[in-house]
């Protein structure tokens, strides 16, 4: 390691957020620029542990060689550090922005302030792009085998990238008009600017990958290929199932976030929530993205309902390090709402009982009810706790129940009871020349897990194509 006592000399410093007032006036990156030397200093905090939990099963799903590139970074060998990072991380510009950094929660320094691996990673890749170190890498030899990738989210892109590097001809089919999956239409611009996604796609095209947009993959499209991998995501939303949930103004979160991005890309501004009282059902990451988005659109108020109790402030005995800490977290949208409205927008142990509508079937409000946990662990409504909230826009961010039926029907595949196209043996191989990867195989997860799964599928496909399976 570069500096033996780095972690004692320097305290943890993340990339700072821009001020709430400033960032609410646009959809630009949430974070401000860092002084050039800060990341080198932060990398010196890494202890190059004998047992680096950051890259273990509890930590980075890509098993990034974190201590090695932190060491190189802290010695000022930035280009070498980036090359080490790129050994395992296909797109650090995505994970460096949106990853919850499982590695940092598993870091041996977690109690005192873990190493800022995510910000260090982002620094390295953006420096690489600025300096021209990132150039297209065209495989020297082609195998002559053709692979179809259905879906261009992180799993599809990671599979396409590795298969292409291994010399196969790759064509990505995407039903949407732009590539990127939920990184394009889902995760808001302030977390992941869309030009970052476009920059990577342009590079992949230069490297020989073909992208066909507005194209639904089905056997008539993919049968002509030597292998096909289904990376369609797990985007079927959990419905609310309350009276009048089909009213005008009741929308699924991803539909709303996608329309916001589409409008922003076309027109530069978006006012879908302007002048409205908004309720977001679901206190998770998607709910938080909705809160941040409606605030930028000028909503009158935003309330987030979460059916589960408020998590504890600190780890409980059943949740020790290096597991992911199941504790209360206040994400950027919730922090923004707290500053604008003077209160945390989240109301716990509460859900919507019914939706109130006007004569034109437009939502006018929502009746909420308090929930309590039964001895069997279920959440049940408490009679007499009903309240009415005004609401002209209600966003359902209550999770996902698996992949949509389209792709599974095309390929006559049966999803398991969690809505996943997961082969019984836990592999990616579905039979004949077909494979699955990403959220479609594992259920709704994280960008970094989708990347790791896409790469694992690519390795399996490579073995299949080279008769090593
Ligand atoms: C609002 C929101 C915010 C999130 N924020 C984060 C975050 O901050 N950090 C994080 O790590 N994770 C986040 N996630 C989760 C993360 O985005 C997903 O886990 C990840 O995108 C899954 O990647 P994927 O490639 O498996 O699927 P997706 O990203 O869902 O991509 C699937 C793609 O396949 C296409 N497709 C489907 N069927 C077909 C077909 N038959 N033919 C052609 N194309 C098809 C779809 O149009 C889509 O573009 C978020 C999720 C949501 C909903
Ligand atoms: S666990 Fe933390 S300190 Fe140890 S090698 Fe990993 S990042 Fe560095």
Could you tell me which residues come within 8 angstroms of residue 422 by beta carbon, excluding any fewer than 6 positions away?
A: 416, 436, 441, 442
| Euclidean distance between CA atoms 110 and 327, whole angstroms | 14
Considering every ligand atom shown, identify the ligand nearest to the alpha carbon of residue 121 and give its number. 2
Query: Boundaries of CATH 3.50.50.60 in the chain?
Result: 146-235+401-465, 250-396
Residue 47 alpha carbon to ligand 2 centre in Å: 6
In this structure, is the dihedral angle defined by the CA atoms of residues 180, 209, 452 and 134, taken in order, positive or negative? Answer: negative
From the CB of 96, is ligand 2 less than 6 Å away? no
Substitution candidate for ligand 1 out of 89, 150, 171, 181 with most atoms within 8 A of CB:
181
Q: For residue 416, what are its two tokens? A: 């398991």
Could you tell me which residues come within 8 angstroms of residue 246 by beta carbon, excluding any fewer than 6 positions away?
A: 361
What's the pLDDT tens digit per position in 234-261? Answer: 999 999 999 999 999 999 999 999 999 9
Substitution candidate for ligand 2 out of 53, 65, 118 with most atoms within 8 A of CB:
53
Of 232, 334, 338, 235, give the one whose Cα is nearest residue 285: 334
What's the pLDDT tens digit per position in 282-336? Answer: 999 999 999 999 999 999 999 999 999 999 999 999 999 999 999 999 999 999 9
CB 73 within 8 A of CB 40: yes
Is 468's pLDDT higher than 80? no
- Looking at CATH, the fold of the domain delimited by 6-131 is given as Fumarate Reductase Iron-sulfur Protein; Chain B, domain 2 (1.10.1060)
Angle between helices 253-267 and 285-296 (to 10 degrees): 40
Query: Boundaries of CATH 1.10.1060.10 in the chain?
Result: 6-131
N-term to C-term CA, the chain: 40
Q: What angle do CA 339, 340, 344 make, to 5 degrees?
A: 60
In this structure, are strands 350-357 and 346-348 parallel, antiparallel, or unpaired?
Answer: unpaired
How many of the other CB atoms lie within 10 Å of CB of 299? 22
Split at pLDDT 50, 70, 90, the class of 469 is low
| Euclidean distance between CA atoms 223 and 175, whole angstroms | 17
CB 275 within 8 A of CB 390: no
Q: Among all chains, which residue has been given the structure tokens 């499982």?
A: 102
Considering every ligand atom shown, identify the ligand nearest to the alpha carbon of residue 230 and give its number. 1
What's the pLDDT tens digit per position in 99-125? Answer: 999 999 999 999 879 999 999 999 999
| Euclidean distance between CA atoms 464 and 18, whole angstroms | 48
Split at pLDDT 50, 70, 90, the class of 207 is very high
Could you tell me which residues come within 8 angstroms of residue 376 by beta carbon, excluding any fewer than 6 positions away?
A: none
Q: What angle do CA 295, 236, 202 make, to 5 degrees?
A: 70
- Looking at CATH, the fold of the domain delimited by 250-396 is given as FAD/NAD(P)-binding domain (3.50.50)
Is 2's pLDDT higher than 80? no
Q: Buried b / exposed e across 69-92, counting CB within 10 Å, b at 16+?
A: bbbbbbbeebeebbebbbebbbbb
Stated pTM of the model: 0.96
What number does the ligand 2 atom closest to the CA of 115 have?
7
Split at pLDDT 50, 70, 90, the class of 404 is confident
| Euclidean distance between CA atoms 425 and 430, whole angstroms | 10
CATH superfamily assigned to domain 146-235+401-465: FAD/NAD(P)-binding domain (3.50.50.60)
At residue 387, φ and ψ (nearest 5 deg) are -140, 150
| Euclidean distance between CA atoms 91 and 154, whole angstroms | 9
Question: Which residues line the pocket of ligand 1, CB cutoff 6 A?
Answer: 98-99, 150-156, 173-176, 181-183, 186-187, 191, 216-217, 231-233, 235, 254, 257, 285-286, 289, 406-407, 438-440, 444-448, 450
């Amino acid at each position: 390691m570069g500096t033996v006592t780095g972690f004692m000399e320097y305290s943890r410093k993340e990339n700072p957020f821009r001020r709430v007032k400033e960032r609410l006036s646009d959809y630009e990156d949430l974070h401000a620029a860092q002084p050039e030397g800060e990341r080198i200093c932060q990398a010196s905090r890494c202890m190059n542990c004998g047992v680096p939990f950051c890259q273990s099963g509890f930590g980075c799903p890509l098993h990034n060689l974190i201590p090695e590139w932190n060491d190189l970074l802290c010695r000022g060998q930035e280009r070498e550090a980036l090359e080490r990072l790129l050994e395992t991380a296909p797109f650090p510009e995505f994970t460096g922005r949106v990853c919850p950094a499982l590695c940092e929660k598993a870091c041996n320094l977690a109690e005192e302030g873990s190493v800022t691996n995510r910000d260090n990673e982002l620094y390295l890749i953006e420096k690489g792009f600025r300096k021209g170190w990132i150039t297209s890498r065209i495989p020297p030899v082609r195998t002559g085998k053709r692979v179809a990738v259905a879906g261009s989210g992180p799993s599809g892109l990671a599979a396409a990238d590795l298969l292409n590097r291994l010399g196969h001809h790759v064509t990505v089919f995407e039903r949407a008009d732009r590539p990127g999956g939920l990184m394009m239409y889902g995760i808001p611009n302030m977390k992941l600017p869309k030009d970052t996604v476009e920059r990577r796609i342009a590079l992949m095209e230069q490297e020989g990958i073909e992208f066909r947009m507005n194209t639904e993959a089905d056997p008539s499209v993919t049968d002509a290929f030597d292998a096909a991998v289904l990376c369609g995501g797990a985007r079927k939303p959990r419905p609310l199932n309350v009276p009048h949930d089909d009213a005008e103004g009741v929308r699924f979160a991803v539909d709303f976030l996608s329309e916001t991005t589409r409008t922003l890309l076309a027109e530069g501004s978006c006012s879908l929530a302007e002048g409205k009282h908004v309720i977001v059902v679901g206190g998770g990451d998607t709910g938080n993205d909705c809160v941040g988005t409606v605030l930028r659109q000028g909503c009158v108020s935003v309330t987030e309902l979460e059916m589960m109790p408020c998590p504890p402030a600190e780890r409980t005995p059943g949740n020790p390090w290096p597991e992911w800490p199941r504790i209360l977290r206040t994400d950027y949208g919730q922090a923004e709402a707290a500053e604008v409205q003077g209160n945390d927008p989240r109301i716990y142990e509460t859900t919507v009982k019914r939706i109130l509508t006007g004569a034109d079937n437009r939502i006018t409000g929502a009746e909420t009810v308090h929930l309590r946990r039964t001895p069997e662990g279920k959440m049940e409504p408490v009679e007499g706790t009903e309240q009415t909230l005004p609401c002209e826009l209600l966003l359902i961010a209550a999770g996902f129940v698996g992949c949509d039926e389209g792709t599974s029907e095309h390929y006559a595949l049966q999803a398991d009871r969690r809505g996943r196209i997961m082969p019984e043996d836990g592999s990616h191989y579905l039979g004949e020349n077909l494979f699955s990867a990403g959220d479609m195989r594992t259920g709704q997860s994280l960008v970094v897990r989708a990347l790791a799964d896409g790469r694992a599928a690519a390795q399996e496909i490579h073995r299949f194509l080279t008769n090593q399976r």
